[in-house]
Amino acid sequence: MITSPAPSQTAAARQWFLARHDLGALVEAIRDTGRRVIGPTIRENAIVYDEVQSAADLPAGWRDEQTAGRYRLEHSNDDRAFGYTVGPTSWKRFTFPPNLTIATAHKTTNIGFEQPVPDVPPVAFLGVRACEIAALAVQDRVFLGSQFTDEDFRARRSAAFIVAVQCTTCSSTCFCTSMGTGPEVRGGYDILLTEIEDGFVIQSGSPDGAAIVAKLPTRRPSHAEAGAAVDNVEAVRTQMGEPLPMAGIGERLKLQLDHPRWVQVADRCVECGNCTMSCPTCFCTSVVEKSDLDGKSSTTERQWDSCFDVAFAKVAGGDFRARPRDRYRQWLTHKFSTWWDQFGSSGCVGCGRCITWCPVKIDVREELAAIAPPIPPVIKPVAVEPVAASPGTYSIARLASMRAETEDTTTLSLTDVDPAFLSGRPGQFVMIALPAFPAVPISISRFRSNGIDLTIRAVGATSTALDNLHPGARVGLRGPLGTFWPIEEAYGRHAVVVAGGVGLSPLHGLVDALVANHDRFESVSLFYGTRTPEDRLFRDDLTAWSASKSIDVAVTVDRAGPEWKGRVGVVTTLFDMISWDCTKVTAFVVGPERMMQASVQGLISKGVPADRICVSMERHMECGIGLCGHCQMAGRFVCKDGPVFRLDDLGDMFNREGI
Residues numbered 362-421 forming contacts with another protein, rule: CB under 8 A: none
Taking the C-alpha atoms of residue 229 and residue 250, their distance in angstroms, rounded to an integer, is: 35
Q: Taking Cα atoms as reference points, which of 571, 51, 203, 145 lies closest to residue 344?
A: 145
The one segment of 39-47, 166-174, 626-634, 638-646 that binds another protein by CB under 8 A: 39-47
Q: Is 568 in the site for another protein (CB under 8 A)?
A: yes
Taking the C-alpha atoms of residue 62 and residue 77, their distance in angstroms, rounded to an integer, is: 8
Among 247, 370, 560, 653, binds another protein (CB under 8 A): 560
Q: Least distance to another protein from the beta carbon of 9, Å?
A: 21
Q: Least distance to another protein from the beta carbon of 408, Å?
A: 13
Q: Is 595 in the site for another protein (CB under 8 A)?
A: yes
Fill in the per-residue mask, 255 to 294: x = in contact with another protein (CB under 8 A), - = not in contact: ------------xxxxxxxx--xx-------x-xxxxxxx
Q: Least distance to another protein from the beta carbon of 320, Å?
A: 15
Among 122, 569, 607, 651, binds another protein (CB under 8 A): 569
Which residue lies nearer to another protein by CB, 385 or 563? 563
Q: Is 594 in the site for another protein (CB under 8 A)?
A: yes
Residues numbered 99-118 forming contacts with another protein, rule: CB under 8 A: 99
Across the beta sheet with 36-43, the strand order is: 15-19, 199-204, 191-195, 160-166, 123-128, 36-43, 46-51
The one segment of 484-492, 515-523, 588-596, 635-643 that binds another protein by CB under 8 A: 588-596
Residue 255 contacts residue 186 (beta carbons within 8 Å): no
Q: Is 135 in the site for another protein (CB under 8 A)?
A: no
Which residue lies nearer to another protein by CB, 276 or 428? 276
Q: Least distance to another protein from the beta carbon of 591, Å?
A: 10
Q: Least distance to another protein from the beta carbon of 420, Å?
A: 37
Q: Is 310 in the site for another protein (CB under 8 A)?
A: yes
Taking the C-alpha atoms of residue 331 and residue 325, their distance in angstroms, rounded to an integer, is: 10
Scanning 255-402, the segments in alpha helix (DSSP H) are: 261-268, 274-278, 324-333, 339-343, 353-356, 364-371
Which residue lies nearer to another protein by CB, 255 or 288? 288
Tell me the C-alpha to C-alpha distance, in Å, between residue 513 and each of 144, 457, 522.
38, 24, 15
Q: Taking Cα atoms as reference points, which of 465, 443, 447, 464 lies closest to residue 455?
A: 443
Residues numbered 499-538 forming contacts with another protein, rule: CB under 8 A: 531
Q: Taking Cα atoms as reference points, which of 295, 340, 474 lies closest to residue 399?
A: 474
Which residue lies nearer to another protein by CB, 214 or 322? 322
Fill in the per-residue mask, 64 to 83: x = in contact with another protein (CB under 8 A), - = not in contact: -----xxxxx----------
Taking the C-alpha atoms of residue 378 and residue 336, their distance in angstroms, rounded to an integer, is: 25
Q: Angle 130-144/151-158 helices, nearest 10 degrees? A: 150
Q: Least distance to another protein from the beta carbon of 139, Å?
A: 17
Q: Is 488 in the site for another protein (CB under 8 A)?
A: no
Please give the size of the binding site for another protein, defined by CB under 8 A.
71
Q: Least distance to another protein from the beta carbon of 570, Å?
A: 5
Q: Taking Cα atoms as reference points, which of 348, 57, 8, 363 lies closest to residue 166?
A: 8
Taking the C-alpha atoms of residue 566 and residue 546, their distance in angstroms, rounded to an integer, is: 13
